[in-house]
Amino acid sequence: MGRVEGKVAVVTGAASGLGLASSRRLAAEGASVVMADINAEQGSSLAHGIPGAQFHQLDVTREEAWQVFLDAVTAAYGRIDVLMNCAGIVRLASIEETSEADWRAVHAVGTDGTFYGCKHVLPIMKAQGAGSIINMCSTASIQGAPGVFAYAASKAAIRAMTKSIACLSTENGFGIRCNSIHPYNMATPMLADVQHQVRQGNPDAAAGMDKIWVGEPEDVAHLVLFLASDESSAINGAAMVIDNTATVTQAVVMKDV
Ligand SMILES: NC(=O)c1ccc[n+]([C@@H]2O[C@H](COP(=O)([O-])OP(=O)(O)OC[C@H]3O[C@@H](n4cnc5c(N)ncnc54)[C@H](O)[C@@H]3O)[C@@H](O)[C@H]2O)c1
């Protein structure tokens, strides 16, 4: 018997990286996984190779699209036990370099997308009296991250939303758990793209970058599986880091020497 046998899990940002690895892990442990992403071509082709998974195209920035999507999932499966809000984008820019368009784009996917997902899955999970919401944050929401200013702000908003939902649920006996995951650098297309941009813009930074710890998408998928399963039934409102001590030991402020 799988660790999430019989559960219905929705994962956004499932066509790549951490959402994809988590979808695979959940499906391997017995969940029916609904993989959602804006990238339909990649998402549907990957979902075909995952037994127990199905793909739906979703642009998480559109509230009405969320409603249509969740209605379709409940019509098909009858319930939603797990929602992992994983879709995200990043812009490499300090506060002074961040344009209004970049600020809004990062928040549209991260902050708004997570808000809409949580808001519209709540009535479904409330009616069931159970559910696990897993929101993808970052160590950037704990330490700050001057080079990805809008991204860090968005992740901090998601962190606060997570705790508010968890407290609301506990106060009202909804039976819903809501936790956030805070990875440091994980080997995904998003990180590869960021590293490429850093190397191009600042070749001197490349040597230092190569020394930084990088985890694997499966490291995140293991934690997602735990939070999705009943093994984590006492964990609610937690901000769980996957960073191999980065938030404990690493200074964020680099000084010229
Ligand atoms: N990789 C890391 O080092 C790292 C570290 C901390 C947190 N994270 C977070 O983990 C999550 C996944 O990141 P990743 O590294 O797997 O990135 P990724 O770029 O590999 O995957 C992100 C996915 O989100 C999808 N997406 C983008 N905009 C969307 C939209 N409007 N609607 C639906 N889907 C959309 C993309 O199509 C893509 O499939 C993000 O929220 C990211 O901020 C990543």
Tell me the pLDDT tens digit for each residue of 166-202: 999 999 999 999 999 999 999 999 999 999 998 998 8
Residue 86: CB within 6 Å of ligand 1? yes
Please give the DSSP secondary-structure letter assigned to residue 128: H
Average pLDDT, the chain: 96
pLDDT above 80 (res 222): yes
Is the CATH number of domain 8-185+216-241 3.30.460.80?
no
pLDDT above 90 (res 204): no
Tell me, in angstroms, the distance from the centre of ligand 1 to residue 1's CA: 30
Residue 211: predicted pLDDT: 86
Residue 72: predicted pLDDT: 98
Long-range CB contacts (within 8 A, 24+) of 27-31: 27/51, 27/52, 27/53, 28/2, 29/2, 29/3, 29/4, 29/5, 29/225, 29/229, 30/1, 30/2, 30/3, 30/4, 30/5, 30/6, 31/2, 31/4, 31/5, 31/6, 31/7, 31/81, 31/82, 31/228
> Which of 10, 11, 18, 142 for mutating ligand 1's site (highest number of atoms within 8 Å of CB)?
18
More confident residue, 207 or 252: 207
Residue in this structure with the two tokens 């996957």, named with its chain if needed: 242
pLDDT above 60 (res 257): no
Residue 209 pLDDT class (50, 70, 90 cuts): confident
Tell me, in angstroms, the distance from the centre of ligand 1 to residue 257's CA: 35
184 flagged as catalytic: no
Tell me the pLDDT tens digit for each residue of 46-79: 999 999 999 999 999 999 999 999 999 999 999 9
CB of 168 closer than 8 Å to CB of 160 = no
pLDDT above 80 (res 33): yes
Tell me the pLDDT tens digit for each residue of 108-158: 999 999 999 999 999 999 999 999 999 999 999 999 999 999 999 999 999
CB of 137 closer than 8 Å to CB of 145 = no
Residue 205 pLDDT class (50, 70, 90 cuts): confident
- Regarding pTM above 0.95, the answer is yes
Spans of all domains in the chain: 8-185+216-241
Residue 105: predicted pLDDT: 98
Tell me, in angstroms, the distance from the centre of ligand 1 to residue 192's CA: 12
